[in-house]
Amino acid sequence: MARGNSTKRGAKSWRLKFEGGEPDPLTGKRHTRYVTFNGTKKGAQGELTRLLAEVDAGISVAPSPVTVADYLQGWLDGADYLAGKTRERYRALAEQQIIPHLGAMALQKLRPSYIADWHIRLLRSGGKDGNALSARTVSHAHRVLHTALARAVEREVIGRNVASVVRPPKVETEEVEILTANQIGNLFTKLRGHRLLPIAALALGAGLRRGELCALRWGGVDLDEATLRVEYAMEQTRAGLKVKAPKSRHGRRTINLPANVVAILRAHLSRQQEQRLALGVGRASPEDLVFTLPDGSLWSPDYLSRVWRRTTISRGLPSVGLHALRHSHASALIAAGVDVLTISRRLGHGSPAFTLAVYGHLFANTDASAARAIDAAMGGC
């Protein structure tokens, strides 16, 4: 057991002396550490007890003057394991919501109460021009801080992740946008002959994300077998476009395609081959993208969304984002009674729990039919 004591140094100042860190491999003794504590005698004893408990638990760390701002900036600069777009979002949240409020504080002096107070400040006046910030944005900022502190614990810069002690503000669940059967029929009628038709067909018929649509290659499409392999995703950052693997192993998946989607893709391939031959570039190879702009350049995810919005407005279609087609795909599967594990795999989710978190309210709508099915199976006994 580590040992220590406190010595009064002033009216409200105490010197805490204790054995800290890992024992010396040769002598078996720990290094002596000193900490200044300002407060009451009872508070000094409590802080000493906490420090000794950290030593005994093996989570005590050497003192460091690194501030929250310095640590966050260094962490983000070296966080190559984060996707480019994710790192951009994390940096924006750190610079706008975390550093202005907590940045000057020493990282090791962060306490749960400071995190709770930070939440309150953001909710009251953390937005632009001192306006209130939404609970969703505060929750995102909390996630960034929590992730950064988790890495600091791994590297033994701090002894514990204080952001894990305080819960972020509760965020009201927003129901996803879903098209009705009539709206879907109207959508495909009004998109007939438009370059967005095959993109919309895959978004609805296979539930692909827009980055997956932009990066899809013909080598991943087997029209004879009516299957599609998702192997890449297009990421758009300030540095430009980047084709990368899906963000998780669950994102790599093979999807069976509905017959009408196969027919739309066959027609799209035929038109694309004619255009390529007319331009003298030869037939499409397995490495060529399924969807390109008329000049053969890449669709960027953001540009695709802008074209989608303009097209829906000009053709009098429902004002929903392209992602609503993916949600409508999930809704149709749920309504058909497909099990949540299959739906989760088809959508490329990390787990069925995430699928339920997003679409749980839709599963609830199938409960009445489930009860009728059980009643029929029991034969009215």
Domains contained in the chain, CATH given = 4-57 (no CATH), 68-164 (1.10.150.130), 181-322 (1.10.443.10)
Dump pLDDT digits (tens) for 335-369: 888 899 999 999 999 889 988 888 877 776 655 55
CB atoms < 10 A from the CB of 123, how many?
16
Q: Would you state the pLDDT for residue 242? A: 86
Q: Would you state the pLDDT for residue 24? A: 58
Question: Is 156 a residue whose pLDDT tops 70?
Answer: yes
Work out the pLDDT band at 209, boundaries 50, 70, 90.
very high
- By 3-state DSSP, what share of the chain in percent is helix, strand and coil, each rounded to 5? 55, 10, 35
Question: Cα 163 to the chain's mean position, in Å?
Answer: 18
3-state secondary structure of 168: coil
Q: Would you state the pLDDT for residue 64? A: 78
Q: 115 and 162 in contact (C-beta within 8 Å)?
A: yes
d(CA 345, CA 324): 18
Work out the pLDDT band at 281, boundaries 50, 70, 90.
confident
5 token code pair:
């004591």
Better-scored residue on pLDDT, 8 or 20: 8
Question: Is 381 a residue whose pLDDT tops 70?
Answer: no
Better-scored residue on pLDDT, 174 or 82: 82
Q: 235 and 244 in contact (C-beta within 8 Å)?
A: yes
Helix axes 340-347, 352-364, angle to 10 degrees: 120
Interacting residues of 68 by C-beta distance below 8 A, sequence separation 6+: 98, 99, 102, 103, 104, 105, 106, 107, 110
Helix axes 323-335, 352-364, angle to 10 degrees: 70
Average pLDDT of the chain is: 87
Which range of 56-70, 167-181, 226-240, 365-379 scores highest in mean pLDDT? It is: 226-240
Q: What would the mean pLDDT of 210-214 be, rounded to a whole number?
A: 95
Question: Is 213 a residue whose pLDDT tops 60?
Answer: yes
d(CA 42, CA 47): 9
DSSP structure class, residue 298 = B
Q: Would you state the pLDDT for residue 140? A: 96
d(CA 55, CA 325): 54
Dump pLDDT digits (tens) for 302-329: 999 999 999 999 999 988 999 999 999 9
158 token code pair:
């701090």
Dump pLDDT digits (tens) for 123-143: 999 888 889 999 999 999 999
Q: Which residues of 35-45 are buried (b: 16+ CB within 10 A; e: fewer)?
A: bebeeeeeebe
Give start and end residues of each alpha helix (H) in 223-317.
259-279, 301-314
d(CA 200, CA 206): 10
